[in-house]
């Protein structure tokens, strides 16, 4: 006749068999999604491949061992230890994670993380009770069972904690290209139809967004705080016979700048005034520029001696001076093509940033190019993959479309927002096709801390983005969208001294 002890042990065994079989089968039936979930875990991202296979194998093995009476007790030890590992995992998620991800699916898909924690504690409790009830009838059995329970559960929890700290270091410092998608880091708040798709971001001040226009280069447009209308006024340059082909508008309060580095000329006017004045003429030739303050311009230019891009600092007021820096932009030997990229300036951090288009490199320096650091994005494309041919007239051009790594970038404070063109590990192909991905880096701490998706419009990806103190803006086709930051992002905006962390 079966006793209460025997029936309880059988009940716990069958309970774990049902739980682990269902869990493992559901994981195998949707294995790709399971790997994606593990890859987005804030604790185990770096080990998603190993963990996804290991968990399924362990659950199946424990289920098989629980069937046979001879192996049932060792299997109960293992089941209890596994549930302890799951329990400490959830505890770390709730108390030490940068963010709390969505709850996992399967048999407990309707439970939140706190309910999961309670359920797991219950499973550990009945597992411990079943082992103790089985062993207490034996000589020294109770003491031995308690010892093994403590040891096995401690080791399982220790493994999870070790994986957590190791994964944190790998993801933030030595990333093997596993993205960490934060939960709603930016939330769509408003949008406005611009009617045409020729706008680009020229700057921001006091909540107003200033837009330049590729097809109407002397038109300055303003989207105000209400985000309901767009105002426009014409900038009028002095009469000139100059042929202007590549005008770019930049707003740096209280001025608006319109420049063509091939002329080369820089116009400037007070915001609100239509009359542009010549600010610089024939001082330097350039193909891109940023405005750090009212007395200087940082520009990117093609070097006549090295046939690659270099950066320069043009001091305009008082005595004009030019400082050329050859070290901030790294070349792979393909000259001007391999040194192409996005030039940025973070006014709050007072840092220059150059993001390479064709490899996983961005460089950060002070305004005078001191304190230069070459850092890496999380993807693994560490050199440009370009096919260059030389024509009969000596001109060089690309023989095939290049593999673009970093599409676009923006910065505010200590944070670099980088639009990547490379799909990472354990990411949904379906979601990747209908979205643009933005990776975020803290340039002072020198670490990657998360990513988010921006949904495409009519199969067109985001063409422009602008990071400000309160909002993140995008332009997709003819639509400008305003997003509000979550605290998981805005907490990184505060500038501070660089930590002694590993540099590339």
Distance separating alpha carbons of residues 388 and 312, to the nearest angstrom: 26
pLDDT of residue 393: 58
Share of the chain above pLDDT 70, in %: 85
**Does the residue 498 lie in any domain?**
no
pLDDT tens digits for range 377-404: 988 888 887 666 565 555 656 555 678 8
How many distinct structural domains can be found in the chain?
Answer: 2
pLDDT of residue 42: 61
Q: Output the CA–CA distances (angstroms, integers) from residue 345 to 183, 364, 393, in the order listed.
A: 28, 10, 37
Domain range holding 472? 186-490
pLDDT tens digits for range 388-446: 656 555 565 655 567 889 999 999 999 999 999 988 877 877 888 899 999 999 999 89
**Does the residue 149 lie in any domain?**
yes
pLDDT of residue 61: 95
**Does the residue 496 lie in any domain?**
no
pLDDT of residue 100: 59
Share of the chain above pLDDT 90, in %: 53
Q: Bigger pLDDT: 263 or 135?
A: 263
Nearest to 51 by CA among 90, 102, 77, 85: 85
DSSP string, 20-80: HHHHHHHHHHTHHHHHHHHHT-TTTGGGHHHHHHHHHHHHHHHHHHHHSHHHHHHHHHHHH
Q: Show which of 173, 195, 222 is a domain's final residue.
A: 173
472 shares its domain with 379: yes
Q: Show which of 143, 173, 203 is a domain's final residue.
A: 173
Contact 311, 302 (CB under 8 A): no
Tokens of 408: 């676009």
Q: Bigger pLDDT: 175 or 229?
A: 229
- Over residues 125-136, the mean pLDDT reads 84
pLDDT of residue 116: 83
Nearest to 120 by CA among 152, 147, 85: 85
33 shares its domain with 132: yes
pLDDT of residue 26: 84
73 shares its domain with 150: yes
User: Which pLDDT band, with edges at 50, 70 and 90, does 43 fall under?
Assistant: low
pLDDT tens digits for range 61-84: 999 999 998 899 899 999 999 999
- Residue 75 sits in a domain whose CATH number is 1.20.1440
287 shares its domain with 150: no
Buried b (16+ CB within 10 A) or exposed e, 475-493: bbbebbbbbebbebbbebb
Order of all β-strands in the sheet with 471-476? 186-193, 479-485, 471-476, 464-467
263 shares its domain with 125: no
Tokens of 25: 């089968």
pLDDT tens digits for range 336-350: 778 999 999 998 899
**Does the residue 104 lie in any domain?**
yes
- Over residues 326-344, the mean pLDDT reads 87
196 shares its domain with 165: no
pLDDT of 93 > 90? The answer is no
200 shares its domain with 307: yes
Report the chain's mean pLDDT, rounded to a whole number.
86
Tokens 């921001």: give the residue.
Answer: 204
Q: Bigger pLDDT: 34 or 331?
A: 331
422 shares its domain with 278: yes
Cβ within 8 Å of residue 350, ≥6 positions away: 292, 366, 367
Q: Show which of 118, 149, 173 is a domain's final residue.
A: 173
Least confident of 183-187, 189-193, 264-268, 391-395: 391-395
Contact 109, 103 (CB under 8 A): yes
Tokens of 456: 């495409």
- Over residues 118-125, the mean pLDDT reads 92
């Amino acid at each position: 006749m079966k006793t209460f002890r025997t029936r309880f042990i059988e009940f716990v065994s069958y309970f774990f068999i049902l739980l682990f079989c269902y869990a493992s089968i559901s994981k195998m039936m949707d294995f790709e999604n399971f790997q994606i979930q593990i890859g987005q875990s804030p604790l185990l991202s770096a080990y998603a491949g190993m963990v996804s296979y290991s968990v399924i194998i362990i659950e199946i093995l424990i289920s098989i061992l629980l069937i046979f009476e001879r192996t049932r007790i060792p299997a109960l030890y293992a089941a209890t230890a596994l549930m302890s590992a799951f329990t400490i995992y959830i505890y770390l998620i709730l108390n030490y994670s940068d963010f709390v991800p969505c709850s996992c699916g399967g048999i407990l898909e309707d439970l939140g993380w706190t309910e999961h924690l309670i359920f797991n504690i219950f499973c550990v409790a009945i597992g411990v009770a079943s082992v103790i009830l089985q062993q207490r009838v034996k000589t020294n059995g109770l003491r031995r069972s308690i010892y093994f329970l403590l040891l096995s559960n401690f080791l399982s929890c220790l493994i999870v904690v070790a994986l957590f700290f190791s994964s944190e270091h790998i993801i933030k410092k030595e990333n093997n290209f596993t993205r960490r998608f934060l939960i709603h880091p930016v939330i769509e708040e408003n949008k406005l139809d611009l009617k045409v798709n020729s706008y680009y971001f020229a700057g921001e001040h006091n909540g107003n967004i200033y837009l330049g226009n590729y097809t109407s280069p002397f038109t300055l447009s303003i989207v105000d705080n209400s985000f309901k209308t767009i105002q426009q006024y014409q900038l009028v340059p002095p009469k000139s016979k100059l042929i202007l082909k590549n005008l770019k508008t930049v707003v740096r309060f209280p001025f608006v700048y319109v420049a063509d580095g091939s002329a080369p000329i820089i116009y400037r006017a007070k915001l609100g005034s239509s009359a542009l004045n010549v600010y610089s003429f024939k001082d330097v030739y350039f193909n891109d520029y940023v405005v750090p303050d009212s007395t200087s311009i940082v520009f990117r230019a093609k070097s006549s001696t090295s046939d690659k891009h270099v950066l320069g600092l043009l001091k305009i007021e008082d005595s004009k001076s030019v400082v050329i820096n050859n070290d901030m932009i790294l070349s792979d030997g393909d000259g001007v093509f391999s040194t192409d990229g996005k030039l940025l300036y973070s006014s709050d951090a007072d840092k220059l940033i150059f993001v390479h288009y064709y490899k996983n490199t961005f460089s950060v320096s002070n305004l005078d190019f001191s304190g230069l650091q070459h850092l890496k994005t999380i993807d693994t494309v560490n050199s440009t993959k370009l096919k260059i041919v030389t024509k009969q007239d000596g001109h060089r051009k690309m023989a095939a479309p290049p593999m673009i790594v970093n599409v676009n970038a923006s910065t505010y404070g200590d944070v670099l927002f980088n639009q990547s063109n490379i799909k990472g590990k354990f990411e949904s192909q379906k979601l990747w096709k209908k979205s643009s991905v933005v990776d975020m880096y803290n340039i002072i701490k020198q670490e990657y801390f998360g990513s988010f998706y921006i949904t495409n419009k009519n199969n067109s990806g985001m063409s422009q983005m602008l990071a400000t103190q309160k909002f993140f803006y995008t332009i997709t086709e003819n639509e400008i969208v305003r997003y509000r930051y979550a605290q998981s992002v805005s907490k990184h905006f505060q500038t501070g001294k660089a930590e002694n962390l590993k540099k590339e």
